Amino acid sequence: MKTLGIYVQVPFCQTRCTYCNFHTGVVPAARFAPYVGCVGTEMAGHKELYAAAGVTLPEEFADAVVDTIYVGGGTPSLLDPAHLGSMVAAVRENFVCELTEVTLEADPETVTEEKAAAWVGAGINRISFGVQSFCDEELKAAGRMHRRADVYRAAAILRGAGMANISFDLIAGLPKQTRKTWRDSLDALVELGPEHVSVYLLEVDEGSRLGGEILRGGKRYSAAEVPGDDEMAEFYETACWELGAAGYEHYEISNWAKPGFASRHNLKYWRREAYLGFGAGAHSFSGTERWANAHDAAGYVAAVTAGRLPVEQLERLTAEGALEEELFLGLRQLAGIDLGRIERQYGVSLDSRFARLRAAGLIEREGSLVRLAPGRVSVSNEVFVELMK
């Protein structure tokens, strides 16, 4: 049975966090309903819309079964729960579904008892919770809307509504973050006991106001108070140690889970399984092609209303590209990759490349299985660069 993940992008936020490099916008609430309507239209007409945009869906998609949905953003928890419910209902109407995991990204300040009850009623059974930090000074500097107290309030509401699978996001490297505040955030997280944890390192690039300011050596957005690279690496190592000691399994470079709670939807990305993305900026992967919808939400609504899907970056994968993805995405998983399977599938020998990495202590090998060496996970990019030489 071919399984399929569905991603729905909601590109709206209440404000713009200083570190954010996503394509999201702060727009009047009146624009939510037309957007949600277009996501439903895109799902209902996806086969024709893809064909017109040059996307080829492999034949096995005809009887694929959707087992995961992920509603991300942006801040999808901003939407009226009826809108979220209608998007989940649109998936059920347009695809054969045997849903095991339906995730909603939620920011703490948006959670109310009414919303949480409606989310559970709509079949959402997992919340990816944008905590980022438990330190108010850091949250304020980053332009976040919530504070530590909101995390406790919202977590209690979600548990009270019966949400049994919650993931917390933390960011290492926020302005004003210190060893002490990072440890405090980790301790507070462990005490609240979410089933899943994601730890991201602050990305510094021109795509965010903070990133641009850091690159220019400026001081706005507390850019001069961002921890250095060494400190950030240390924060990551502290997270590895502390989360491991608290019973979380480190299963992907940025992700930890209590036994049985690894994200089924996100595993599809790293395992190169198929998923279809709906909404502005949503990415899709059919197994042979990758494509994305245009980012601009207003342009997306205008195009879909006119009966057209604004597909960008349509790429048919070559064998070489697929092999690179296997290695790059596969090695992000701490269980590693089955080198024998990859060599057979792609008709290549990777022995010499991996022997070099093994000699340098970057990877370890157990029979046909290859994985990043313990303690080398934080330098995974170096490993990938070496591997691709």
Where does this chain bind ligand SF4 (CB under 6 A)? 13, 16-17, 20, 22, 24, 73-75, 107
Question: Given the complex with ligand SF4, which of 22 and 152 has the nearer CB atom?
Answer: 22
- The CB-of-131 to ligand SF4 minimum distance in angstroms stands at 12
What is the residue type of 39?
V
Radius of gyration over every alpha carbon of the chain, rounded to an integer in angstroms: 21
Sign (positive or negative) of CA dihedral 135, 140, 144, 145? positive
The alpha carbon torsion through 7, 80, 134, 377 (nearest 10 deg) reads 0
Residue nearest to ligand SF4 (CB): 20
- The CB-of-129 to ligand SF4 minimum distance in angstroms stands at 12
CA neighbor of 91 nearest in space, from 67, 75, 73, 72: 67
Q: Which residues of 118-137 are buried (b: 16+ CB within 10 A; e: fewer)?
A: bbbebebbbbbbbbbbbbeb
Question: Given the complex with ligand SF4, which of 4 and 141 has the nearer CB atom?
Answer: 141
- The CB-of-328 to ligand SF4 minimum distance in angstroms stands at 24
- The CB-of-142 to ligand SF4 minimum distance in angstroms stands at 8
- The CB-of-281 to ligand SF4 minimum distance in angstroms stands at 11
Longest dimension (CA), the chain: 59
370-373, long-range: CB < 8 A, 24+ apart = 370/331, 370/336, 370/337, 370/339, 371/331, 371/333, 371/334, 371/335, 371/336, 371/337, 372/331, 372/334, 372/336
In the block, which residue shows the tokens 């998983």? 333
- The CB-of-20 to ligand SF4 minimum distance in angstroms stands at 3
Question: Given the complex with ligand SF4, which of 16 and 258 has the nearer CB atom?
Answer: 16
- The CB-of-202 to ligand SF4 minimum distance in angstroms stands at 11
- The CB-of-74 to ligand SF4 minimum distance in angstroms stands at 5
Question: Given the complex with ligand SF4, which of 214 and 337 has the nearer CB atom?
Answer: 214
* Phi then psi dihedrals of residue 53, to 5 deg: -90, 0
- SS3 for 265? helix
Which helix (H) or strand (E) segment holds residue 236: the answer is: helix 229-245
User: Which residues are CB-neighbours of 302 under 8 A, at least 6 positions away?
Assistant: none
Question: Given the complex with ligand SF4, which of 20 and 91 has the nearer CB atom?
Answer: 20
Residue 231 CB neighbours (<10 A):
16
